[in-house]
Amino acid sequence: MLSNNILFTTFAAIKNRYMNKIKKTLLALFVAMSCSAMAQNAQNYLNIKAPISFDGKDYKLGWSSHPAEYYYLEEFFPEGQKPEHYDDMFSVSVVVADVEVSDLVMAKVRELDERKKTDGCCNYQVLERKGGEVIIDFMVAAYENGKTSFVESDIHHYKKIKLNGKPAVQLNFYSHRAYGDDIVPYFETLLKQKTDWIIKMGEMDIKVSLKQ
């Protein structure tokens, strides 16, 4: 996956001469949920009221990134968990651009279809909601020395918003991981958990805004 730094360099290079490619760059940026370097101090760029409460846990801001004027990412974790190793994460991303939810969803689906070629755990479903909102429920895994090091169940919720009067797309993202010996018990309860997570994600109403 491309790092955000590479994506931003690409965006800057084509901005003035190739406007028809800007949307593709934004889509790739929105799909790429991790940056190449960690910020030392997380900043609440989007004025999100914390903690975020989800599925019986409270999430506090642990990492954020605003590497370009059109892109914001904030990641929240339960007490004691960190970006580099977590069991649960909740993130909010915003792309400030006139792009369609369907374009972002298709970009993510293409990424997952490509991942399926090397990740036997990878699968997904796309759920359309009222108002043009879309949820992607998917699973991926990481492998080391021929063994599964962790499995990750993710819920993406995409919706169009206005950010300080400008068109934008907001992505609320819940991620849960199980490691090592916890993987088998995790699968035994996953179906019910995922059903609950999808319902709760659809009910989340996280307001975002920029400081004037």
* Domain-embedded: residue 115: yes
The 8-class DSSP code of residue 20 comes to: G
Q: Is residue 210 part of a domain?
A: no
pLDDT band with cut points at 50, 70 and 90 for residue 28: low
pLDDT of residue 198: 96
In this structure, is residue 24 part of a structural domain?
A: yes
Q: Is residue 19 part of a domain?
A: yes
Domain range for 67 is 4-203
Handedness of CA 177, 204, 45, 103 (dihedral sign): positive
Which tokens belong to 168?
């934008």
Question: Which among 107, 114, 116, 152 is positioned nearest to 134, based on CA atoms?
Answer: 107
Q: Which helix (H) or strand (E) holds 92?
A: strand 88-95
pLDDT for the residue 31: 59
Is residue 86 within 8 Å of 79, Cβ to Cβ? Answer: no
Residue 47 belongs to some domain of the structure: yes
Q: What is the pLDDT of residues 69-94, one digit of tens each?
A: 889 999 999 999 999 899 999 999 99
User: Omega of the bond prior to 83 within 30 degrees of 0, cis?
Assistant: no
**118-157 pLDDT tens trace:** 999 999 999 999 999 999 999 999 999 889 999 999 999 9
**pTM (2 d.p.):** 0.84
pLDDT on residue 27 = 63
Q: Would you say residue 1 has pLDDT above 80? A: no
- Residues 146-194 pLDDT 10s: 899 999 999 999 999 999 999 999 999 999 999 999 999 999 889 889 9
Q: Which residue has the tokens 């995790």?
A: 186
Return the higher-pLDDT residue of 35 and 124. 124
Q: Is residue 208 part of a domain?
A: no
In a domain, 212, yes or no: no
Would residue 209 count as lying in a domain?
no
Are 154 and 138 within 8 A, CB to CB? yes
Secondary structure of residue 45 in the 3-state scheme: coil
Number of domains in the chain: 1
Three-state DSSP class for residue 22: helix
